[in-house]
Amino acid sequence: MSHVNFLINLLFCMSVVVNALVITDTHAGRVRGYRVPTNDQNNLDIYLGIPFAEPPIGDLRFAPPVEKRPWRPKVINATQFGAVCPQGLEYIQRDLGQIFSNIHEDCLFLNVYAPKNDSDPDRLYPVMVWIHGGFFFYDSGSVYDGRILASRGEVIVVTLNYRLGALGFLSTDDSHASGNQGMLDQVLALKWVKRNIGFFGGDPEQVTIFGESAGGASVSLHMFSPLSEGLFQGVIAMSGCAVSPFALYRPPFSQIKNARSLAKQLGCPLYSSKVMVECLKQIPAEDIVRVEPERPVLYVPYAPRVDGYFLHDVPENLLKKGLFHRNVRVMTGFVHDESTSFISKVFDESGGYDVTTYDSLLNMFSSMFLHSDQVKSILTCHIPPSMNDSRQNLQSYMQLLSEYQFRAPHIHLAASLSALKTTTWFYEFNYQSPNYPGPKSKRVLHSIELFYLFGAPLFRTIPCPGERNLTCLQLWETTPNWDKEDRRISEIFIDIWSSFAKLGSANSSLLMLPNAKSWSPFDFTQQFLSINTTLEIRNEPKHQMLALWDEFPYLDYYAHPSNSCDILHGNDL
pLDDT digits (tens, 9 = 90+) for 231-242: 999 999 999 999
Q: What is the pTM of this model?
A: 0.92
CA–CA gap between residue 208 and residue 202 (Å, rounded): 12
Residue 562 lies in a domain: no
Instruction: Pick the range with the lowest mean pLDDT from 17-26, 132-141, 192-201.
Output: 17-26
In this prediction, residue 573 carries a pLDDT of 31
Q: What are 480-538's pLDDT values in tens digits?
A: 688 899 999 999 999 999 999 998 887 766 666 665 467 889 987 788 999 998 888 88
* Residue 205 near residue 331 (C-beta atoms within 8 A): no
Can you give the pLDDT at residue 4? 47
Would 98 be classed as within a structural domain?
yes
Q: Distance between CA 573 and CA 546 in Å, rounded?
A: 10
Q: Identify the CATH number of the domain in which residue 112 sits.
A: 3.40.50.1820
Q: Outline where DSSP puts E strands in 62-201.
A: 75-77, 109-116, 125-131, 156-160, 171-174, 177-178
527 is a domain residue? yes
Residues 6+ apart with CB under 8 A from 148: 454, 455, 456, 458, 459, 461, 462, 490, 494
Q: Is the model's pLDDT at 99 over the cut of 50? A: no
What total number of domains does the chain contain? 1
> What integer pLDDT is reported at residue 478 of this predicted model?
46
**Strand ranges (E), 409-480:** 424-429
Quote the DSSP letter at residue 383.
Answer: S
Q: Is residue 545 part of a domain?
A: yes
Beta-carbon count within 10 A of 144 CB: 26
Q: Is residue 567 part of a domain?
A: no
Beta strands 424-429 and 329-335, pairing class: parallel
Domain residues for 95?
A: 5-551
- Is residue 570 included in any domain, yes or no? no
State mean pLDDT over 155-162.
Answer: 98
Q: How far is CA 274 from the centre of its chain?
A: 32
Find the angle CA(103)-CA(185)-CA(36) to the nearest 5 degrees.
65
In this structure, is residue 569 part of a structural domain? no
Active site residues: 213, 338
Residue 557 placed within a domain? no
More confident residue, 103 or 16: 103
Structure confidence by residue, pLDDT tens digits, 46-76? 999 999 999 999 999 999 999 999 999 999 9
pLDDT tens digits, one per residue of 250-260:
887 888 988 99
Cβ–Cβ under 8 Å, residues 170 and 519: no
Condensed to tens digits (0 to 9), the pLDDT of residues 259-274 reads 999 999 999 999 999 9
